[in-house]
Amino acid sequence: MDVTEVASGSQPPSIATLTPNGSKGRFGVAYLRMIASQAGIGLNETSPDEDVLAIDCDLCFAIANVRVQVKCSSQFQITGRSASWSADSSWCGKWKQSLLPVYFVLVILDSETQEQWVEHHDYGTLQRAAAFWVRVNQLDDDAASISIPKSQRLSIDTFRIWENELLACFSGQGE
């Protein structure tokens, strides 16, 4: 096997196969998958060509699934009161049709630089990111943006809230 050496002072060729936006998209879903795994909840990802309902994945609770749209960005700060994401009018209409809860999760990266998204230390690996959520199947069809309160930080406790909202759909207690 021949190994080509990189000339001194030059950068090695990139190993990346994803675009920067593609990398962010994968990171966002992986982040949600990590928290779901911590909680012991399964996650079924929507095939890319089947993302016709503006849903990236389903979280699998014992009683039923909830739907989740995930976005990942470095344009916001992790701290602060809220973030706002432009809403495609077709998304809102699709989400509103769902009889089960639909959630929008925004994963915020602490840096634009990909190499800084994850830090590896002797004591563990640190992801420089945080995620926040809001229920979206109750938005108006013509909503121009989605406001995501930073008081709604995604954690395993979030899934207890989501399961209660899911149960309310079946018990007639409303939303």
65-81 pLDDT per residue, tens? 999 999 999 999 999 99
* H and E: helices and strands count for the chain: 3, 9
> Which residue type sits at 90?
S
Token duo for residue 163: 């399961």
CA dist 19 and 113 (Å) reads 13
Predicted pLDDT at 141:
74
The confidence score (pLDDT) of residue 79 equals 95
Distance between CA atoms of residues 145 and 140, nearest Å: 10
